[in-house]
Chains A and B, each alone.
Chain A
C-alpha cells in the first residue's frame, strides 16, 4: 500500500487533539503508513475563504497539495472541511488550465509549483475502499455492542458529482464501517441533515446554527443511542460544545460524541482515555462505564 500524508488541519490539532491521537493509534494498528504533513497550513476552511475569494482559497489549498506532491503521497484527511477544500481545489486545478496558471503564478513566489499528481482522500472512504469492511471487522476480535447515531456530515458526501461516493440521500459506507466495529448504526429522522456549523454560520450566527443542532440532537436522542459518531471535527465541535450551550437554556442531551477514529480505537481495545474521549466537553459517566464493561468482557483470556 502506498504511503499517505496525514493532513490534520487546524481544529483537530488545536481543539480536539484526542482525535489526532486516536487516528495515529488506529492507522498504526492497521499497518497504514501515514506521515504528518508538518508544514501544512489551514486547508483553508471552505466556509469563509471559499466564500470570500476563490483565488486565495485555491492558492492556499494548492500549497498544501504541493507539499504532498513533493513527497509523492496522496493526502489523508480526517475532517470533512479539509477534505472538501483540498479535494475541490485539486479537481478544479487539475481541470482548469487558466486557474492553474494563475495559482502557479502566486506559488512561484514561494518557489513552488502545482502539478496535479496526487489525490485527496478522507479516512472514511479510504478505510471503506482501500482496507475494506471485511478486513476491518477481522481486525476486531470482539464486537463493541453499542447503539450509535451516524452523522456523515455534508461535505463528506456533497457535492456528489465531485465526491463520487454514491448517494447523499441514503449513503451506506459509513454505517458499514461502524457496524464492522460491532456497534449498531441506528436509523434516525434527519440523519443526512446538516449539524448547523458550516458555511461560517457557526462563527457568525451561533444561535442560528444551534437551531439546526438542536433539531439533530433531538432526533438522535429519540433513537435511543449511546453516542454520536462523526467524521469531522467541526460537526464534532458543534455537537459536543453545542450541548454545553444548549444546556444553558435547559436542554439536556448529555450524549457523547465520537469521531470514527475514536470509535475504531475503542473497538481495537484502546481505553476511552487513550482515544481522548475525556477531552470532550460532554462526559457521560454511564457511557464510559458501559465501554469499560464491554472491554473487560472482551479482554483476551476470557
Chain B
C-alpha cells in the first residue's frame, strides 16, 4: 500500500484566510446560510460559496461581498455556529485595504470626515426642525467634528479611503 497523499483525501486546506479564523473550516457546505439570505434571493450573492472560496483564494474583487445587508440570518442559522456575517465584514475590510471601495461608500465616508455625520443636515431639514421646535446645538456639533477629525487622523481612516 502506497502513501496516501493529502490531496487524494480532498480536504480543503486554507491558503488564504485573513481572519486567521479556523472556525470557517468547520463549514460543511450545507447551504443553510444561502437559503436564509434575503439578498441572495435576488442577487448573485451566495454566501455559502463566499465561505468556501475565501479559504482557497483572495475574493476581494467579488462585488457580491457588498450585496450583503448584514441581516445576520446566515449567522443565526448556521448549524456549525460559524459567525458568517462577521466573516463577510472581515472580508470586506480586506477588500477595502486593497482600495476596493464603491463610489457611494466613499461618498458616505467623506460626509463623516467633513461633518462628523454620515447623513448631514440640509437646508430643507434645518427648516423643518425649526418648525418642529427642535434646535441644533451648532457649538456642540462643531466640538464633535473637531474630535472626530482628530480620531480619524489617529486611526488612519482618511488614508485608508483615499486608496
**A53, B147: Cβ atoms closer than 8 Å:** no
CA separation between A44 and B117, bound complex, in Å? 8
**A208, B160: Cβ atoms closer than 8 Å:** no
B98 within 8 A of A: no
Contacts of B71 in A (CB 8 A): 154, 158, 193-194, 198-199
Interface residues of B in 13-51 (CB under 8 A from A): 38-39, 41-43
**B109, A48: Cβ atoms closer than 8 Å:** yes
Residue count of chain A within 8 Å CB distance of chain B: 59
**A204, B96: Cβ atoms closer than 8 Å:** no
Known interface pairs A45-B118, A60-B148, A158-B75. Does A109 touch B140 (Cβ–Cβ under 8 Å)? no
Q: Which of B69, B132, B140 contacts A39 (CB 8 A)?
A: B140
**A21, B132: Cβ atoms closer than 8 Å:** yes
Report the tally of A-B residue pairs with Cβ distances under 8 A.
185
Q: Which of A56, A107, A203 contacts B104 (CB 8 A)?
A: A203
Chain B: number of interface residues, binned into ranges:
35 or more
A interface: dominant SS: helix
Mask, A227-263, CB within 8 Å of B = 1, is 0000000000000000000000000000000000000
CA separation between A39 and B143, bound complex, in Å? 7
CA separation between A209 and B42, bound complex, in Å? 9
A212 within 8 A of B: yes
Contacts of A222 in B (CB 8 A): none
**B42, A208: Cβ atoms closer than 8 Å:** yes
Smallest CB-CB separation from A210: which chain B residue?
B42
Give the Cβ gap from A7 to chain B, nearest Cβ, in Å.
12
B137 within 8 A of A: yes
Contacts of B102 in A (CB 8 A): 200, 204
Give the Cβ gap from A86 to chain B, nearest Cβ, in Å.
14
CA separation between A170 and B152, bound complex, in Å? 40
A292 within 8 A of B: no
Known interface pairs A21-B134, A40-B144, A205-B67. Does A154 touch B72 (Cβ–Cβ under 8 Å)? yes
A17 within 8 A of B: yes
CA separation between A159 and B125, bound complex, in Å? 33
**B144, A14: Cβ atoms closer than 8 Å:** no
Known interface pairs A199-B68, A209-B69, A279-B128. Does A63 touch B151 (Cβ–Cβ under 8 Å)? yes
Smallest CB-CB separation from A201: which chain B residue?
B69
Give the Cβ gap from B90 to chain A, nearest Cβ, in Å.
8
Interface residues of A in 1-44 (CB under 8 A from B): 10-11, 13-15, 17-18, 20-21, 38-42, 44
Q: Which of A42, A51, A55, A169 contacts B118 (CB 8 A)?
A: A42
Q: Which of A41, A45, A48, A52 contacts B145 (CB 8 A)?
A: A41
Interface residues of A (CB under 8 A from B): 10-11, 13-15, 17-18, 20-21, 38-42, 44-56, 59-60, 63, 106-107, 109-110, 154-155, 158-160, 168-169, 193-194, 196-201, 203-205, 208-209, 211-212, 215, 276, 279
Known: A56-B151, A201-B69. 19 other contacts (CB 8 A): A17-B134, A46-B70, A48-B105, A48-B109, A51-B96, A52-B161, A56-B160, A63-B147, A106-B155, A154-B71, A154-B72, A158-B72, A158-B73, A159-B72, A198-B70, A198-B71, A201-B68, A208-B42, A279-B128
14 contacts between A and B (CB under 8 A): A21-B132, A39-B147, A41-B147, A41-B148, A42-B118, A47-B69, A52-B93, A52-B96, A194-B69, A197-B69, A198-B69, A199-B66, A208-B67, A212-B41
Interface residues of B (CB under 8 A from A): 38-39, 41-43, 66-73, 75-76, 83, 85, 89, 92-93, 96, 101-105, 107-109, 112, 116-122, 125, 128-129, 132-134, 136-137, 140-141, 143-145, 147-148, 150-152, 154-157, 160-161
